[in-house]
Amino acid sequence: MPLLLKKGENMPEIRKDYLMDRYVIIASERSKRPVLFKKTKAAKKKSNYDKQCPFCKGNEAMLPGINKEYNVKKGKSSDIIRIVPNKYEAAMQKGNPELKNDNVFYTYSSSYGIHEVIIETLEHGVDFEELPLNQLKKIIEVYIESTKELIGKPNIKYVSLFKNQGKEAGASINHTHSQIIGYNIVPELVKKKNKKAKEFFEKNNRCAYCEIIEREKNSYRRVFENNSFISFCPYASRFQFEVLLIPKRHFASLIDMDKKEIKDLAEALKKILTTLEKMGPTPFNIMFFNTHNVEDNKDYFHFHIEIAPRISNFAGFEIETETIINTTTPEDAASFYRENL
């Protein structure tokens, strides 16, 4: 049997679809995650401490460990950013990282890698965009350091960095945090993005994203711009109020950012997300798209960040056709951002 998992074993496993280049991670252990959400934003706001929350100051015994800590100045006091192992990991350094095929239809490997949580503050009930600018800056520096560390590890082929805010965006704990997963396959979407960017480059001798920036910076879809970053609601936005955030300078991975760019990215994230939240508490995902191979792909791949508000759910049509119906035009969404920034 092509099963790495035996009953009672909890190792996460990667499985490929019978025919399609589509992979899933089966991680049954993650179903045991506690879902810690207070019912309303008002209830959440009452306290900056929750006795059930493992990310809160004083509850360190509930964590599976602490990998690293960084101090941040917060006025006269200070705060701590922590990197901890994910207790319910989707990838672990165990088993066999090589994909194998048994009996034609069963392709699998261990979900081999490292899954960490970046706890962005010790304070409960503060949203990401509410954190002070210098703390957001430090968080981005931590993202860079963690990404660099994971890229170099054996058998790690891609490092995924993302943030979920709000239950509907997949967060199970409402204490602000990001996640980083380095694992043993390059996701198909990242491969596809690389391939398309490469094709454009070979045809036009120019990075597609650099060109897109030129086209969109004065369009009806523009959102916010500072010295280093530009943002707009993409022409074919899949999500209502989706924002694409791109550095003006061409580089392939967030690890290439300089100090000024880090500061400008913190500012852009804070501005855009604060504006989004003016609609009321809005769940969102932030996804950081790096190339998987910085050396080979640095000419044509351009680092970018997707902000996907999760206002509506996927229905049958979306799942069947991979075509998402978006009921807000990107032009209207962008005008909302510009008017409320």
Which residues here bind Zn ion, judged by CB under 5 A?
Answer: 50, 53, 55-56, 124, 175, 207, 209-210, 250, 302
Distances (CA, A) of 44 to 26, 39, 310: 32, 8, 20
DSSP string, 293-320: -HHHHTTT---EEEEEE--S---HHHHH
195 — phi, psi (to 5°)?
-65, -45
Nearest approach in angstroms of CB 44 to Zn ion is 10
Nearest to 51 by CA among 125, 119, 130: 125
Task: Say how far apart CA 76 and CA 118 lie, in whole Å.
Answer: 23
> Are 231 and 224 within 8 A, CB to CB?
yes
The C-alpha atoms of residue 83 and residue 117 are separated, in whole angstroms, by: 6
- N- to C-terminal Cα distance for the chain? 57
In the three-class reduction of DSSP (H, G, I as helix; E, B as strand; rest coil), residue 195 is classed as helix
| Bridge partners (DSSP) listed for residue 229 | 247
Are 118 and 160 a contacting pair, CB within 8 Å? Answer: no
Instruction: For tokens 């990242």, name the residue.
Output: 190
